[in-house]
Amino acid sequence: MTKKSKKSRKSRNDSFFERVYEVVKCIPEGRVTTYGAIARFTGSPQSSRMVGWAMNASHHCPGQVPAHRVVNRQGILTGKNHFRHPDLMQELLESEGIQVDNDRIVNFNRVFWDPYKELI
DNA sequence: ACGTTGACCTATA
DNA sequence: GTATAGGCCAACG
């Protein structure tokens, strides 16, 4: 099993998504990150859309991926609408000690978790 | 196979 | 602050 078993090697193992999951899973409690930071860390600074797309699949297939810890640049819970319950995202964040006001994270700069500085 | 959409980011007006 | 444009890659019709 080596040559043409699965054809492309980047089918389901070394996908762009896998990298995203790895980073997101490394996010500690009480911390959040942005799509852009992840996209940048994965190697594509402008592929932030794919990060969101990965999250969409994350709660459908893979293990526990704290997608609720991933927000946009403004610290707004953009993807809360895609959760099982729109308010679930805020609930989880508040449960971890993150204050959320009007779908926006309070002191976003403080809870921001940068993979470049923390991870590595 | 092609075109559109998607949980975004940055820049310009 | 809102609106428009470009970009990236993957999934869906």
The pLDDT of residue A49 is above 60: yes
Residue A50: CATH number of its domain: 1.10.10.10
The range of the structural domain enclosing residue A102 comes to 3-119
- Quickly give A95 CA vs B3 C1' distance in Å: 42
The pLDDT of residue A14 is above 70: no
Which nucleotide's C1' sits nearest to the alpha carbon of A44? C8
According to the model, what pLDDT value does residue A5 have?
37
Residues 6+ apart with CB under 8 A from A48: A34, A35, A36, A38, A39
How many domains does chain A contain in total? 1
CA dihedral (A53, A58, A59, A61) positive or negative: positive
- Quickly give A96 CA vs B6 C1' distance in Å: 28
- Quickly give A87 CA vs C12 C1' distance in Å: 27
Tens of pLDDT, residue by residue over A61-104, are: 777 899 999 999 999 999 898 888 888 999 999 999 999 998 99
pTM: 0.85
Find the residue closest to B10 using CA and C1' atoms: A46
